[in-house]
Structure 1
Amino acid sequence: MSILVVTAVAAEADAVVAGLPTSVGLTVAAVGVGPVAAAAGTARRLALAEAAGRPHTAVVNAGIAGGFVGRAAVGATVIGASSVAADLGAESEEGFLSLDDLGFGTPTVVTADPALLAALRGGLPDAVVGEILTVTTVTGTDASTAALLARRPEAVAEAMEGFGAAHAAAEAGLPFVELRTISNPIGPRHRDGWQIGAALSALTAAAPAVGALTAAR
């Protein structure tokens, strides 16, 4: 299996590479922040690999994230059972309406590939498994945190790229899974309390399980 691992920024890519044996056949690339950059960057790398005659056969989105308090603590590793476009939709007097609610026919949830999910769970038995939300604005208040959880009660973490990368993988007909490590609790924004270094170290520690996915199918 030839796996493309996409991250938002170079520091995340470096953290993944630091935990991989040199013999593992993975391509790790930073594709930018946000779902649009993730979708475009993932699609471009998939197309280039196919054109070169070395097509990828699976996609992993890896990086750091915020964790919902009581569900994914700072330093924890999280595996996405699904990646959700949590703020893609419309406001209404009755509350938020997703694209599914609006009847646009475009799914806002991409379910992780069962084989990749099972393999990561086997390699990371202490990881938290649940929905990882993709947002375009990082949640920064108690009210918005509560609103997200009311809409997505299975959510454990939020980041900004998962759904974009997942959509690109789905368009290419490839299996996908999202892996995150937690740098901060979701809620009021206290940047001084974020533990980005610890989350990157946790990402390095989780990387061997990603490398083992090359033999998962």
Structure 2
Amino acid sequence: MVTAVAAEADSVAAGLTSLGGPAPADVPLPGGFTLRRLAGAPPAPSAAGAAPGSPEPPPDGTYSVVDVLVAGVGPAAAAVGAATALAHGAYDLVVSAGIAGGFPAHAPLGAVVVSDEIVAADLGAQTQDGYLTVEELGFGRSAHPCPAGLTARIARALADGGQHHLVAPVLTVSTVTGTAARAAELAALHPRAAAEAMEGFGAAEAAAAHGVPVVEIRAVSNAVGPRDRAAWRIGQAMDSLRHTFQLLSRTVFVEAK
């Protein structure tokens, strides 16, 4: 689980404590990163595998392992943090998690967006004729698809638990949208996009480099558009994030692939 800041990691970990098992343990990594490790039963190959410093599993193998990482803000920090963790452990899934801005046409405050695609919305070139993606420029990539079976399992668990959610693209930006004009531009370029955050594409690049599937899960704290701090609902979004991972810890993260 790759988060940007400690408050997001706290909400994710609070939900995941329903995994049970040993008490959470901190595992240091190079670069000053620290994993918050949670273990529970039964095993979940789709969540994570053994890594250096893992708690010793019982003889019957009833522990699954989920690591929560605070990587920092922005796609570069997320990529470095996720790549560092992936280089020091055998994982089966990377989840970029946290709060986000929601496009009002799709995702109201408090809703949870599960990515079916993670898109770098400003990785390209601005021209007189409009924005060009790196694919249109002839090099690189600006989108990572997420496994359809995985997103379906997550959506089913959230629906069963009564958590308002939708499955849609999540945009990654290096500069958070703060004007109506930019929000409209993004909505026109990515009409299915439901949320905007700053880390997903970086985590996805690291996951792809290690051949690991990735998904982004975001709770909406504010509307994409003009900055109006008085309208932000960060506490509500953090509660949705915690509830989401509580639901997933009982289902998706304890199911075998």
TM-score by length of 1: 0.92
Structure 1 contact 119–216 (Cα < 8 Å) conserved: no
Evaluate the alpha carbon distance shift between residue 209 and residue 166 of structure 1 in structure 2; reply closer, same or farther with a 3 A threshold.
farther
Once residues 178 and 256 of structure 2 are traced to their aligned partners in structure 1, the CA distance between those partners, rounded to angstroms, is 38
- Aligned partner letter, 2:130: G
- Aligned partner letter, 2:70: A
- Does 115-124 or 131-140 show the bigger shift? 115-124
| Deviation of 1:57 (Å) | 1.1
- Aligned partner letter, 1:58: L
| Deviation of 1:209 (Å) | 3.6
Q: Secondary structure in 2 aligned to 1:32? A: coil
1:46 equivalenced with 2:86 (yes/no): yes
1:119 equivalenced with 2:153 (yes/no): yes
Which of 57, 61, 72 is 1:32 aligned to? Answer: 72
Which residue of structure 1 aligns with residue 127 of structure 2? 92
Which residue of structure 2 aligns with residue 52 of structure 1? none
Which of 144, 157, 161 is 1:110 aligned to? Answer: 144
Coordinate RMSD, CA, aligned = 1.1
| Deviation of 1:107 (Å) | 1.5
- What pairs with 1:195-206 in structure 2 (closer than 5 Å)? 195-206=233-244
Structure 1 contact 116–176 (Cα < 8 Å) conserved: no
Once residues 221 and 256 of structure 2 are traced to their aligned partners in structure 1, the CA distance between those partners, rounded to angstroms, is 28
Which residue of structure 2 aligns with residue 136 of structure 1? 174
Unaligned runs of 5+ in 1: 50-54
Superposed CA deviations along residues 131-163 of structure 1, whole A, max 9, x for unmatched, are 100000000111001110111111111000011
TM-score by length of 2: 0.78
Structure 2 contact 151–167 (Cα < 8 Å) conserved: no
Q: Secondary structure in 1 aligned to 2:194? A: strand
Identity %, equivalent residues? 47
1:10 equivalenced with 2:50 (yes/no): no
Once residues 144 and 256 of structure 2 are traced to their aligned partners in structure 1, the CA distance between those partners, rounded to angstroms, is 20
Alignment coverage as a number of residue pairs: 207
Which of 153, 156, 161 is 2:194 aligned to? Answer: 156
Once residues 57 and 156 of structure 1 are traced to their aligned partners in structure 2, the CA distance between those partners, rounded to angstroms, is 26
- Aligned partner letter, 1:132: V
- Does 14-23 or 86-95 show the bigger shift? 14-23
Higher relative contact order (CA 8 A, sep 6+): 1
Structure having the higher Rg: 2
- Aligned partner letter, 1:150: A
Structure 1 contact 65–182 (Cα < 8 Å) conserved: yes
Which of 101, 124, 148 is 2:136 aligned to? Answer: 101
Unaligned runs of 5+ in 2: 22-39, 41-64
| Deviation of 1:189 (Å) | 0.4
Q: Secondary structure in 2 aligned to 1:155? A: coil
1:165 equivalenced with 2:209 (yes/no): no
Structure 2 contact 157–252 (Cα < 8 Å) conserved: no
Once residues 141 and 131 of structure 1 are traced to their aligned partners in structure 2, the CA distance between those partners, rounded to angstroms, is 21
| Deviation of 1:19 (Å) | 1.1
Evaluate the alpha carbon distance shift between residue 176 and residue 209 of structure 1 in structure 2; reply closer, same or farther with a 3 A threshold.
farther
